[in-house]
Amino acid sequence: MPLVSGGKITGDGFVKLAVDTPLPEGGDILVPAERFLAEADALLERSGKVGVIWPNNRDIAELVPYLGKVAAVALVFPTFRDGRAYSQARLLRERYNYRGELRATGQVLRDQFVFMLRAGFDAFEVKKQADAEAFMQTAKRYSVFYQPTGDGRITALHRRMQLRHSEGVGT
């Protein structure tokens, strides 16, 4: 499954651990939430980077004490119909000011990219190769946004105000 990060298909530096996989000596790891919370101290002492895979039915606030220490948070879309992780993503970015990698995993398809970018995701485990290749093109599909989110894109309401004021200058 291709990983898109920084707008490009890249290699994945993280190795995913299951709940019971033995902990490797070094290297960057992505750990399920349950294991992460149980072994946080030991995991964070290692030399490699640590990321956490957070399920979409667990309160994201539980992760807050660790946000300064993890290198990545992977949120899960069990199917693309299930939109809970969009709320988790916005909370991480906008309420808890998380600035590390925010990765979308699960059924990640082309037609969610714009929503995901707006919610704060910056890395995507894309299901289909063709979708991953079309990432940049798809991300530019829309130039108008009605809602303010943490991604900082200017909203339609805001743009109208700017237009109004700039028109007002000359008159």
Q: Given the rule CB under 8 A, which residues bind another protein? A: 80-84, 86-87, 90, 95, 109, 111, 114-116, 118-119, 130, 141-149, 155-157, 159-161, 164
- Contact (CB, 8 A) for 105 and 77: yes
- The CB-of-67 to another protein minimum distance in angstroms stands at 17
- The CB-of-16 to another protein minimum distance in angstroms stands at 24
**Short-list 139, 94, 147, 85, CA closest to 117:** 139
Minimum CB distance to another protein smaller for 47 or for 143: 143
Minimum CB distance to another protein smaller for 71 or for 134: 134
SS3 labels along 40-89: HHHHHHCCCCEEEEECCCCCHHHHHHHCCCCCEEEEEECCCCCCHHHHHH
Minimum CB distance to another protein smaller for 5 or for 88: 88
